[in-house]
Chains A and B, each alone.
Chain A
Amino acid sequence: MKNLLDQEPTTELGAASYWKTEDDATFAIMGAYANVRSLFDRDYYLDGHGEYFRTRGTSTVADDLLHGDAYRDGNYNPSGYGGSFDRMFKNLYGGVNRANYVIDNVTKMLPNATAASLPNLERIIGEARLLRGMVYFRLISMWGHVPYIGSTVYSNAEVATIARTPIAQVKDSIMADLTYAFEKLPVKAPEIGRASKAAALAFRGKLQLYWACWNDFGWPELEGFTADKGAAAAAYNAAAADFRKVINDYGLTLFRGGAPGEIDSLGKADKLPNYYYLFTPVANGDPEMIMAFNHGGTGTNQGEELMRDVAGRSHENSQCWVSPRYEIADRYQSTITGDFAPKLIPMNPAAPNARTASNSALNPRSYADRDYRMKASIMWDYEVSVGLASLKVTNWVPFIYKTWNQPVTIDGEKYTTYNTDGCNSGYVLRKFLRNYAGQGRSDGDYNFPVMRLADVYLMYAEATNAVNGPQADAIDLLNKIRHRGNLPPLSGEKTASKEAFFSAIEQERIIELFGEGHRGFDLRRWRALERVWGPPGGPGVWRMDTHNAQVTRYYQNTTPREYQQNYIFRIPQSERDRNPNLTQNTPWL
């Protein structure tokens, strides 16, 4: 046989024949999107670093990027997590390399590109630079100074002894990427899931807002970084300017016009508020989703596993890896007063009046007339959801904490209760939970948002408030978000001072962005861990459940060093063993 030693692969594409056409550039950016998607599309786990969300584990598969390798092995408790994100670190750099590969190769195509194809090629470079910018932003917000790799790497030797680049320099590179992206991206991408100008601007704004916070509140754990109030003010202003453009220039609106939508009575779920649908595929491609990572459903091998992570066995054998903590409930305000409702009282279900006592956490009535986002986000006792099995609807499934999979009769109808071993607070998520059949627990087609218009509103309000105090347009934006929960506008006292308005913004961030992975980052950039959990060496704070049992105590007798370790992540030690130039963040030395 003549070509015996020359065997061609049959399912992989020979690289020699690549990078010839515009299509090749498109396929390459699609590959980069698919890769970077896996670095952000399970950010809900990260909400475990906050105080209202429990991540007891993950549904990830080791060494399988599409199944969450980036999130695997992470510790998602409110404390003690900083040393467990080596895989995230590794995979984020994977994203950097993917983006670099596209940027370098498409850039090589530019000199010979026709005038007709030039904008498209530049758009692709813009998208790749946006992705790279997002990835580096995540890197610096967790690890501070990080090695900067700006072009394709061809051999290990190029990075084997690389040192960390100071955060300011990395930040400037990200700015350059996002600015380029902003210039070259289309005003509105025709394809759902590809980035538009607003995405680049929103991330540039967010980067500057974080930069402002680090300079404002300080980041003492980051060696060599000196906070500078002047730089903070400038960055707040620049952030606000970017956010303002996002809000005003592209005709973006909140999902369904920001209307609260319909709500069903307690214990029914035929009608659910608009906020619920924002986290179902109905919202895919909605203008509110400034940047979202797409998923294909059944048969595409690109499903998300939100249901698997948020729901119980009664929902396609889901595993309930994440759930709301008991403490979130009191955060949902009254639609009547527009302020916090009387605190719920957790009660032992054996108590004779547990189900009827006023404000009892076990009395469904206690949850009446609350922020619509409460019903859309969490389920308490006797709330129902659609049971799913074998891609079919089973029946309504009532949730009754610790009464798992039991027959129950409600209003003469027989049901089997919700079943999970993953909930220890008395609540489970409705947010992200599908209410229709046809997709398995790993086959979801929801486009996970990493930048929503509501977040931009809140960040805008935060940035302007930090420099100038409460502003009318910012208050207005907050009220738009509150309207979504059918809450009345903020009362005057909530906007009376910079501090009061900051609290109102934080409150909205907690409720509006619940379970989307923001809270831990917010607490760190605001240096708010001590505010939430008390000072070092303190008694810590218990997390409770609706049955009035103490579940877990965090920050008990926690040392200052452990606090520091929660403010900055550990550079992977295995890499430091190999690379003597790679320095460590001081709390981890």
Chain B
Amino acid sequence: MCSAQWDLRKTEIPFNGQRIINVQLKPDQKALGEVVVVGYGTQKKVNLVGAVSAVKVDQQLASRSVPNASSALSGLVPGLSVTQASGMAGRNSADLVIRGLGTVNNASPLVVVDGMPDVDINRINMNDVESISVLKDAASAAVYGSRAANGVILITTRSGKGQRKTQINFNSNFALVKPTKAYKFLADYPRALTLEQRLAAVNTLPSLFLFKNGTIDQWMAMGMIDPLRYPNTDWWDIIMRDGQMQQYNLSASGGTENTNFFISVGVQDEKGLQINNDFKRYSARFNYDAKLRKNMNVGVKFYGNWTKFVYALEDGFTDDNPGNTAGFDMRYAIAGITPYDPATGHYGGVMAYNEDPQAYNPYTVYMNTLNRQNRQEANSSIYWDWSPLKGLTGRIDYALNYYNQFRWNANTPNTSYNFQTNSFGSRIYVGANAGVGNYTNTGYKTMLTGRLNYEKTIARHHQVSAMAAYSEEYWYDRYQATSRNDRLHPTLHEVDAALTDIQGTGGNSGTEGLRSYIGRVNYTAFDKYLLEANFRYDGSSKFLPGHQFGFFPSIAAGWHFTEEQFIHRFTRRFLTRGKIRASYGSLGNNSGVGRYEQQETLSQLNYYTNAIQKGFVNRKMVNQDLSWETTRVFNLGLDLGFLDNRLTAELDYYNRLTTGMNRPSEMSILLTGAYTAPRRNIGDLRNRGVELNLSWADKIGQIRYGFNINASYNATVLKTWNEFLARGWTFIGMPYHFLYTYEDTGIAQSWQDVYNATPQGASPGDILRKDLNGDGKIDGNDKKAYPHTQRDRPTTNYAFSGHLSWKGIDFSFLFQGAAGRKDYWINNYNDVNFSAQRYAATEAHWTNPWSVDNRDGLWPRLGGNANREETTFWLDNLSYLRLKNIQLGYALPGSLLKRIGISSFRIFGSAENLATITSFRGLDPEKTGNKSDAYPLNKSYSFGFNVGL
């Protein structure tokens, strides 16, 4: 699966007395000639001097039922951290970070697909992918200069090159999706109201309780016989379902002497765990290369995809937009609401006396307020190369990526209904004047590249190659939105089908240009000494003239020390191959800067007199000198192959210093009311780490097997910050967002405990925080900083994978884990100080809170004091080990299939995220901290088959 290894595999053919032995020598080609895609070209794996990890997409990887390519990379590449933030269909892409948080600005790697940067990795059909290269150091990434500071992911799609026979493949995969873990809401309204009473009892007389005993008793009694009027809704059951994912892919590839092709069509159909959260992707690819003359080639690539995405809320279960005050959060979904009554067609609202009429019926939101988003992308490119002289090749590439995204909503009016009084409640879920909204994003990106390659061998042992390129990239994006109120009829959903009296519109566009000069020189002597130098000189329209261009050079050297006789003599017994490599260079980042941010502009702020009046204000205070953020990377690597390369090891050490991180500068409060702070090159951040990749592959009899262990450790530290830093989780000499926490002595069991502690307003049942500085009060000064613990991401990522095949049976597994991250287990669903009305308690609220009768309660008491503070009480270690994938396949014997004209047939079963070991008590240790995000990560069981013709 992960083939970051050299493979000088011996070919052994067992002799069973047959007369003809067919010996195929294909492994040799793999061993010596294995080629890795690098920026603007390919290189022999053995001659790499940069830190490049390559992933070959094989059948096992393509058979996994992961929703997108980013998620599929989990655990495959040392130094590439892949974290899944949500399981929401359509929003379940993973966050990719190479070698730690490189900058406090956008720290995502650059994704380049078939030479074109800025392609969305998540829209790629995994079945089309031939290989993925991850460029981690300056030597390999510097050819992408200004945008390569966070590493580069190169994806290369398949071609029919070298195929003798046209191959037709059909792959299918069907997965059943379940949550890894989910919240357990209390589907028992009387108990939820009892919890409200317990909360109220802290400081309210029983006679003033909002929820009276009568209300609760009545609900308890009537709930058993009249669920419509006295519901105890299990919301999770109503709004969740078993997810599904189906993937079908048909491809054909082949070639002749002069041409080759790859075509593929694919469908991916995802039904999320949440009702009406669906995502479908259709894709088609056509790759074609032709030899026009002996020394001249052309090729085209076309990839089209179309997605259909349905969802209700931005984050699945919530909408964190602060402007949305509708309270669409599961914590407001009380059990005492009937979701929907098919008999009357009404959606339920609150009914209990004194319940907050704004309590929430998620069912109506997930049924009636859906967003539907279609997006089409066409990525196309052509090239033409010509080698007029031996060793000299000229090539022109032109690529055009186009996208069009359209989202619409046309909500269906409905009002909360009280089935007890048979009247409408006051909460109007969707007003009668609901209209239609249309939102279009469209745009394109073009890239024109001309490049020259020259290769020459001098005096037999000296190979020199050089590459020079010129490139222009241009982005154009526009947005337009239209909405009208008062849809004419619920069956209509286009803007024309609504009244014109109230309408809204919006629109804007933006452009950006990048001009680049790129060069590379490679020198190899005696196949032992490797030398490489790269540079890129980039100019970006984001900066002002004089500061537009950045120069990003790198050098690297490698030494095949096992080729030296004086070493080989000692090591040949166990060490087949050994290479040491080192590189140093600089990379850039301009991602933090807006397209027009550096230009002096006035922005609109209109006023109204007798009519609307144009108004302009100056919001900008531009820092004319702003320039690139620069990252310098030193990389030292060791590649070893033992025992005929059955065991290979790669070790890397890197030291990566990002300087001049451009951030909005600290500005006086006397100015921030009028001006946005200008960006300045403010801080330096250092990342240091080690990576290890260890592979074993061998064969025992007919059993082929292999293992891979990869691990990485990264330590990040903020070196400088040229501005005032208030006390908080950003500080010099510490990781960015380090753990800065109150410590506690646990829950006070008695008043004596309270008196023994520093006064902090506590009562028995409250968490007692420590007065670390001993000043007799608890405040921010009592927090303790942990220099080695981060809250946002782990320091250590590791994976262990293996594969085994015997005859037609193949088996593989992948464990993936992380360590070094701690965060608080505080979210909207374990609130011990919930609101006095409309709180959807969880089952844990019933059992966990401390009380005199429950002194060992896991949580402090309900309605206590300062129990939601970020103390060590709530702190969890987010280390985990997860069985990411396990797969079992069986390929029918070829002899059998030949008779029915099929060349291969494999069936398989596979499971994702099957098991997780973690001490984290929250939803999932992989997710990043969001207090309201309830969308679980997915666990899936899939079944599928691959047919080849």
Contacts and interface: CB of A to CB of B under 8 A. Distances in A.
A419 B669 contact: no
Given A15-B618, A194-B609, A294-B609, A7 B511 contact: yes
A162 B668 CA distance: 10
A302 interface: yes
Interface residues of A, number: 90
A192 B609 contact: yes
A5 B541 CA distance: 4
A319 B724 CA distance: 39
Contacts of A312: 426
B431 A33 contact: no
A133 to B, nearest CB: 17
B602 A298 contact: no
Contacts of A4: 472, 474, 513-515, 539, 541
Nearest to B666: A578
B251 to A, nearest CB: 37
A492 interface: no
A404 B513 CA distance: 59
Interface string A84-96: 0010011111111
A587 to B, nearest CB: 19
B496 interface: no
Given A13-B602, A97-B675, A421 B358 contact: yes
B227 interface: no
Contacts of B601: 9, 12-15
B599 interface: yes
A4 B476 CA distance: 12
Given A9-B601, A98-B617, A193-B607, A93 B357 contact: no
Contacts of A3: 513
A98 B671 CA distance: 10
B472 A1 contact: yes
Contacts of B899: none
Task: Give the dominant DSSP class at A's interface.
Answer: loop
A331 B41 CA distance: 85
Contact of A159 (B512, B609, B671): B671
Contacts of B548: 5
B607 A33 contact: yes
Interface in A10-45: 10-16, 18, 24, 26-35, 37
Contact of A92 (B510, B596, B668, B673): B673
Interface in A263-299: 294-296, 298-299
B663 to A, nearest CB: 14
B18 to A, nearest CB: 65
Contact of B608 (A27, A86, A101, A296): A296
A18 B604 CA distance: 13
A247 B253 CA distance: 91
A12 B603 contact: yes
B281 interface: no
Nearest to A313: B426
Nearest to A161: B668
A421 B669 contact: no
B541 A6 contact: yes
Nearest to B513: A4
Nearest to B433: A390
Contacts of B292: none
B485 interface: yes
Given A295-B608, A299-B504, A160 B668 contact: yes
A149 interface: yes
Contacts of A89: 669
Contact of B323 (A33, A61, A154): A61
B616 A405 contact: no
Contacts of A147: 670
A53 B596 CA distance: 46
B605 A575 contact: no
A416 interface: yes
A271 B834 CA distance: 44
Given A97-B671, A421-B837, A549-B208, A15 B600 contact: yes
Interface string B410-450: 00010000000101111110011110000000000000000
Contact of A32 (B208, B509, B617): B617
Contacts of A319: 325
Nearest to B323: A61
B610 A191 contact: yes
Contact of A7 (B323, B427, B541): B541
Contact of A192 (B512, B610, B674): B610
B212 to A, nearest CB: 13
Contacts of A16: 600
Given A4-B541, A12-B603, A159-B668, A31 B615 contact: yes
B672 A90 contact: yes
Contact of A574 (B504, B599, B669): B669
A446 B675 CA distance: 28
Contact of A298 (B502, B605, B609): B502
Q: Could you say which of A97, A419, A575 has the most chain B C-beta atoms within 10 Å of its C-beta?
A: A97
Contacts of B16: none
Interface string A378-390: 0000000000011
A14 B504 CA distance: 26
B139 to A, nearest CB: 27
Contacts of A28: 615-617
Given A31-B605, A162-B670, A299-B503, A9 B599 contact: yes
Given A7-B595, A578-B666, A97 B674 contact: yes
B540 interface: yes
A14 to B, nearest CB: 6
A314 B428 CA distance: 10
Interface in A66-110: 67, 86, 89-98, 101
Interface string B699-735: 0000000000000000000000000101000000000
Nearest to A443: B502
Nearest to A16: B600
A34 B358 contact: no
B654 to A, nearest CB: 32
A349 to B, nearest CB: 14
A27 B615 contact: yes
Nearest to A29: B615
A187 interface: no
Nearest to B540: A5
Interface in A111-150: 147, 149
B671 to A, nearest CB: 6
A13 to B, nearest CB: 5
Nearest to B595: A7
Contacts of B604: 11-12, 31
A577 B357 contact: no
Interface string A294-314: 111011111000000000111
Given A4-B474, A33-B607, A95-B673, A389 B431 contact: yes
17 contacts: A4-B474, A7-B513, A15-B600, A28-B616, A30-B606, A31-B602, A62-B322, A156-B677, A159-B668, A162-B668, A193-B608, A193-B609, A302-B607, A390-B433, A391-B502, A392-B433, A407-B421
Given A12-B604, A159-B668, 19 more contacts: A3-B513, A4-B539, A5-B548, A9-B599, A13-B603, A14-B600, A18-B602, A31-B607, A35-B674, A90-B669, A97-B674, A147-B670, A156-B668, A156-B671, A313-B426, A390-B431, A392-B433, A574-B726, A578-B666
Nearest first, the 6 closest Cβ-Cβ pairs linking A and B are A94-B673, A390-B431, A30-B615, A97-B674, A4-B513, A31-B615
